[in-house]
Amino acid sequence: MTIGEEYRRDLDALVKRIGVLDPPDLADRFATCFGIDAGSFRQVRPSRAGTVAAVDGSNAMLLDGGSLSVAVIRAAASGFSGDARSFRSVTPLRLVTLGQEARDGSYAALYRECFGEDPEATVRDDEPQRTAAVMRDTLEYWAAIETAGRLGRGDLLVLDGALRVAHASHDPVLVRLIQVCAKRGVHLCAVTKRTAVTWGGGLPLVPAALSYARAHAISPPWVLRIHEEGLDVAPYHQWRHGATCIAALHPGSDLAFKVEVPAPTGDDGLGRVISLLAGWSDDGRLTGYPYPLLDAHLAARISADTLMQVKNDLLAGLGETGLDSRRFDDLFGDIHDAFARY
């Protein structure tokens, strides 16, 4: 077999695999699986009443020395009311060490700083990328709880992702956030840009809902509750606190998203959540996506220029200790940087 034949074989297999995800009877199979009809879609009227606030975070690897790595993390919250941003808060850039948790306890220290107690579970020394994401999530949950405290009854707090944690230590934190929102009368939801949730043995969920809506001329903004008996839910039970919905938020957009609300949320509460999301999804730069989430993302984003500035500041500090650039390269040099020049 030639190299070209192997490539063509792999390409043909991939084309067939992707084709399986969009069968011609997708809309009908979706309706049968979940027991829905056109009346299951709830159409909503966009609203900008009250305040919508969104929280997002970012992380980027600064140094990777194998036994010791360093990441930069931060989180941001943006609030909008009326026709303008009412507040924006951004945490300072934080430098977190990865790979020596058992000795240094950097994650435990960050967790205590944010929540005033030790985490119920720690992180692994051999998973720096995952550890960086867990630390970013820690800042995000702290920012979310702080933001919930400045919102009032009928306002909406939007998280990026799902009402499900990826690390055991965050489960009590998410529960606390849900309780704070419930006590203050603040609506809570999470919006997922790209979801891995499937049904029918691997079919993507959101495209199926869109297919049915289009086939039956259901115009956005709409929301559809998903009865989870039909989902391929095995990987998603642990640490989950949300009910799954699909929402399309603007009639001029082809976008739709998985939206989760706390499990006890009734139809009126869900309608309020989607109405507020739709009210802030008409920005021309990304029509159909809630602008407060985009604004929080932009505020939290760690750019290449920011990373370079942090690295320069670090090198300057190390220079004052007498560590020269050659020793720094011995510790943290990456041969892939050399590869990139060719």
Q: Which pLDDT tens digit goes with each residue over 28-59?
A: 999 999 999 999 999 999 999 999 999 999 99
Instruction: Indicate the DSSP class of residue 186.
Output: -
Check residue 336 and give its pLDDT. 46
Condensed to tens digits (0 to 9), the pLDDT of residues 180-234 reads 999 999 999 999 988 988 999 999 999 999 999 999 999 999 999 998 888 987 6
Q: Which CATH architecture describes the domain 41-300?
A: 2-Layer Sandwich (3.30)
Which position has the token pair 């690897």?
Answer: 61
Which residues contact residue 238 at a Cβ distance below 8 angstroms, ignoring those fewer than 6 apart? Answer: 164
Confidence of residue 341 (pLDDT cuts 50, 70, 90): low
Give me the residue spans of the domains in the chain: 41-300, 305-336
Tokens 């109405």 appear where?
Answer: 275
Residues 6+ apart with CB under 8 A from 310: 62, 72, 93, 95
- What's the confidence (pLDDT) of residue 238? 78
- Give 149's contacts (C-beta < 8 A, 6+ positions apart): 180, 184
pTM for the structure as a whole: 0.91
Q: Which helix (H) or strand (E) holds 94?
A: strand 94-98
Q: How far is CA 247 from CA 9, 79, 206, 225, 280, in A?
A: 38, 21, 9, 9, 14
Q: For all residues of the chain together, what is the average pLDDT?
A: 90
Q: β-strand 94-98 against 242-248: which pairing, if any?
A: unpaired
pLDDT digits (tens, 9 = 90+) for 125-161: 788 889 999 999 999 999 999 999 999 999 999 999 9
Least confident of 102-106, 256-260, 328-332: 328-332
d(CA 289, CA 296): 13
